[in-house]
Structure 1
Amino acid sequence: MTAIASGSSIALISVEDLDIGRAIAFNDEASGVETLFSVNVVQRDGKNIEATFSCSSSPVQEAGRPLILNARGMVKVALGDPSDDQLPSIEKDDWNIVPIEVDRFYEQFARLEYDYSPPFRGMRSIKRRSGYATGTIENEAGSAWEDQLLVHPGMLDTSLQASSAAFSCPGDGRMWGLYNICSIGLRSGL
């Protein structure tokens, strides 16, 4: 979106209608994946940009295999100078919500042989009930990463992890495999 904004300052990026239908899978540490990320600008004026996006992939080892859709959604960009009060307020629903231990949250993934490590292990606190979770995240990427992306992939992944807490509480037995929870109505301001 930084490239599409063509040098204009970005005040807010909202991701809407995010549908992650299939994770990008790596068979092992030596495997490669071809990915195609496309953006289609739907509307643009001096203050806003709206675009649809999609991400598709295929294992490099399977040459000639068609790309499979992994994710799609809508992104809205408000152009201008960022400010602390730019994010829309969110109503908290603290009814029947309980804290869960962050270490236990990550241990359930480790038991599935999916170990999060920095910068992808940024949850600092989690509160949940069935179907709802909220938390505090911290950017674990630091300032030394070379790509200088607007949002580091570790921070983005961490921001989606609360959906797993909404689905399952550590130890309840529901998380017996990796799930792709973010398929409806995610709205996040970055």
Structure 2
Amino acid sequence: MDLPTYAFQRDRYWLDVTEAAADAAGLGLTPTDHPILGATLDLADGEQTLFTSRLSLRTHPWLADHTVAGTTLLPGTGFVELAALAGERLGCPRVEELTLSAPLVLPERDGVRIQLAVGEADGAGRRVVDVYARPDGGDETPGAVAKARPWTALAKGVLAPATGTGTAADGLPVWPPTGASEVPLDGVYDRLAAQEYAYGPAFQGLRRVWRGDGEIYAEVALPEEQRADAGRYILHPALLDAALHPLLPGVADQDRAALLPFTWSG
């Protein structure tokens, strides 16, 4: 077709939008590249380092498989992972002590914001770590801090430098252990569900259990669906949680009382 010889007449309706940096680095934070710990910030006074994250069942759907007494909780092993990673970034990779004071409940729809505040090192290189959480919601616009939901203290602990005296475990000379009797695991997770430990597929890592003289041995494995990101963790919380399942009632000992781990050391 024939084109006109004069310049096209036109009106422009596109909006000019300035580029906004929405990632962690653009907001002045340092990304951690960790699945459950988002970013870190060194405070200007040099006395604390802040680690931040946000968890939800939408962004981390495997956490929905950890339900106790009808409530979806971040497992205690998740707190250990958060503390261990913060310590590793600051040269204190040993979780010397970590005590949970309140559970972290994960709501069905909204998310939960998490902060780990790590203090400066003392003369022995130890650092105090405090873990806080706050659910999404409330008026969180600038100038409306008073209306935002309050932070709740969930855990407190001590991070320490590596001792330097540890040696690699030699392992057992025979596996399964000599003299240990194997515990049948048929329907084990159904039995645990009856005790209000409703573990979904991501947390069903228990494979075999043996009971010895005052000792319990177990084989655990991370389910295939969780292995893609496993290398990004120090130790995947679902795998470490599965290592504790033999201690639950009805697994290796019928007389054990119901429990949840709340204190960690070493």
Bin the TM-score by the shorter chain. 0.5 to 0.7
Distance 1:16 1:62, change over 3 A: farther
TM-score by structure 1 length? 0.58
Q: Is 1:60–2:136 an aligned residue pair?
A: yes
Aligned to 2:127: 51
Aligned to 2:201: 117
Where structure 1 has 5 or more consecutive residues not aligned to the other structure, the ranges are none
Note the aligned Cα RMSD (angstroms): 4.1
Q: Is 1:4–2:122 an aligned residue pair?
A: no
Q: In 1, distance between residues paired with 2:198 and 2:138?
A: 24
Q: What amino acid maps onto 2:159 in structure 1?
A: V
Find the partner of 2:247 among 126, 151, 166: 166
Greater relative CO, 1 or 2 (CA 8 Å, sep 6+):
1
How far is the alpha carbon of 1:25 from its aligned partner? Answer: 0.7
How far is the alpha carbon of 1:59 from its aligned partner? Answer: 1.9
How far is the alpha carbon of 1:17 from its aligned partner? Answer: 2.6
Aligned to 2:114: 35
How far is the alpha carbon of 1:102 from its aligned partner? Answer: 4.4
Distance 1:105 1:41, change over 3 A: farther
Contact 1:21 1:180 in 2 (8 A): no
TM-score by structure 2 length? 0.45
Q: What amino acid maps onto 1:166 in structure 2?
A: L
SS of residue matched to 1:181: coil
Q: Deviations over 1:94-147 (max 9, x none)?
A: 9xx8754445443344342722322x3333334569x975534334442x2188
Contact 1:23 1:180 in 2 (8 A): no
Distance 1:146 1:121, change over 3 A: closer
Identity %, equivalent residues:
17
Q: In 2, distance between residues paired with 1:24 and 1:34?
A: 10
Contact 1:37 1:54 in 2 (8 A): yes
Q: In 2, distance between residues paired with 1:52 and 1:117?
A: 35
Aligned to 2:237: 153
Q: Is 1:138–2:226 an aligned residue pair?
A: no
Where structure 2 has 5 or more consecutive residues not aligned to the other structure, the ranges are 1-86, 140-147, 172-176
Distance 1:155 1:26, change over 3 A: same
How far is the alpha carbon of 1:44 from its aligned partner? Answer: 7.2
Find the partner of 1:21 among 89, 97, 101: 101
Larger helix proportion of the pair: 2
Q: In 2, distance between residues paired with 1:123 and 1:14?
A: 26
SS of residue matched to 1:106: helix
How far is the alpha carbon of 1:67 from its aligned partner? Answer: 1.6
Q: In 1, distance between residues paired with 2:88 and 2:182?
A: 36
